[in-house]
Amino acid sequence: MTENVDDNQTMTETNEQASEEVSVPEILYDAAAAKTKKEEGNKYFTQSEFDLAIECYDNALSLTPPDATRDLAILHGNKGVCLLKLERLDLAIESCTKSIEFDETYVKSYIRRAGAYEKKEQYAEALKDANKILELEPGRPDMVRWAAELDKKQKEKFEKDKEEMIGKLKDLGNTLLGKFGLSVDNFKLNKDPNSGGYNISFGQ
């Protein structure tokens, strides 16, 4: 899915300082400077200069007061999409997760995190995010289609993983049974039509 950074939100226009009770140096928050850095990051993003954009978003995050949760969610989300573009998938997931922690209704971060999960073939996690988006924005056509695609991919991957596991178990079984001149092909799994249970029969 095509992704853009969020540049339509207004950064909080109040400046705050860290509590004077702590003995460490004061942390100076500057919402206006944070907004400037965010806009600079957005400009780099449009130019595909993702590393420079990330640097700007990190600077903006350090200037944003902790109670400006929506602004923090947007900045972490913008950083996340840059990391996604750079194929740094684990870091992208981490940034999007931080974004969601600040604002659980911020849909863009669910989209970006789902995209990263999909690239990692973690379809169950991606589907969970897609369903969350549909919970927040019911009936959204593109999400309905995407959720269906992810569900299909999840089922296909499950079958593939199951076949690979059975193959590995069969190889292991043949290695062990081979010492006795046998193989797993000598054993047959039979389903009882009445009880639904299984029994194993042996044949030469």
Contact between 85 and 101 (Cβ < 8 Å): no
- pLDDT string in tens for the chain (204-residue length): 656 777 655 554 444 444 444 444 456 899 999 999 999 999 999 999 999 999 999 999 999 999 999 999 999 999 999 999 999 999 999 999 999 999 999 999 999 999 999 999 999 999 999 999 999 999 999 999 999 999 999 898 777 767 667 666 666 666 665 666 666 566 566 667 777 675 666 555
Give the pairing type, strands 187-191 and 198-202.
Answer: antiparallel
Phi, psi at 30, each rounded to 5°: -145, 95
Compute how many other C-beta atoms are within 10 angstroms of the C-beta atom of residue 113: 27
**Token code pair at residue 17:** 């300082």
User: What pTM does this model have?
Assistant: 0.71
Residue 19 near residue 70, CB atoms below 8 Å: no
- CA 185 from centre of chain: 42
Provide the terminal-to-terminal Cα distance of the chain, rounded to the nearest Å: 55
